[in-house]
Amino acid sequence: MSVVWILAGCALVAAALLAVYRLIAGPSTLDRLVATEMAASTCLSGMGAWAAYSVDSAVLAALVALALLGFIGSISVPRFRRSDRE
């Protein structure tokens, strides 16, 4: 049982690191925005995995708050950013 939790945690950490790599290396702001969204979703998955591992529902309020804030960020950034072609 604990092996499964450890594997899930390692996979989530690796996903977050790869998203950070794309966030640094992405050639355009849209790539960085997509990588940021991926990192936020990975954080949500990590919170859910933590809530499942330690049977504790304290993290869920933070999970819902992060889902809402990720919504605001990911919708407003493509609307109000400047184009890269200039």
Interface positions with another protein (CB under 8 A): 1, 4-5, 7-9, 11-12, 14-19, 21-22, 28, 30-31, 33-35, 37-38, 41-42, 44-45, 48-49, 51-53, 55, 57, 60-61, 63-64, 67-68, 70-71, 74-75, 78-79, 83-85
Distance from the Cα of residue 78 to its chain's centroid = 17
Ordered alpha helix ranges (H), 1-86: 2-25, 29-53, 59-80
CB of 81 to another protein, least distance (A): 8
Q: How many Å apart are CA 59 and CA 44, to the nearest integer?
A: 10
Distance from the Cα of residue 70 to its chain's centroid = 9
CB of 46 to another protein, least distance (A): 8
CB of 10 to another protein, least distance (A): 8
